[in-house]
Structure 1
Amino acid sequence: MVQENKNFATAQAKSIRVSSRKLNLVAAFIEI
């Protein structure tokens, strides 16, 4: 159970990182 929670938290963190990277790309595109 604990292991599953850790994996879920890691997946959440990765998806958050990816979406923030996408937001940064969009922001950079708008600034140009």
Structure 2
Amino acid sequence: MIDDVPAELVEARADLVRAPRPEQWVPTWLAAS
């Protein structure tokens, strides 16, 4: 856990920054930060 956020979520957000996906492919819970 990093700052009470699952490490997988942190990795997923970092991956979105590295390789942006079309908005419809991104779950709203992931896009909302």
Higher relative contact order (CA 8 A, sep 6+): 2
Larger gyration radius, structure 1 or structure 2? 1
TM-score of the pair, normalised by structure 1: 0.40
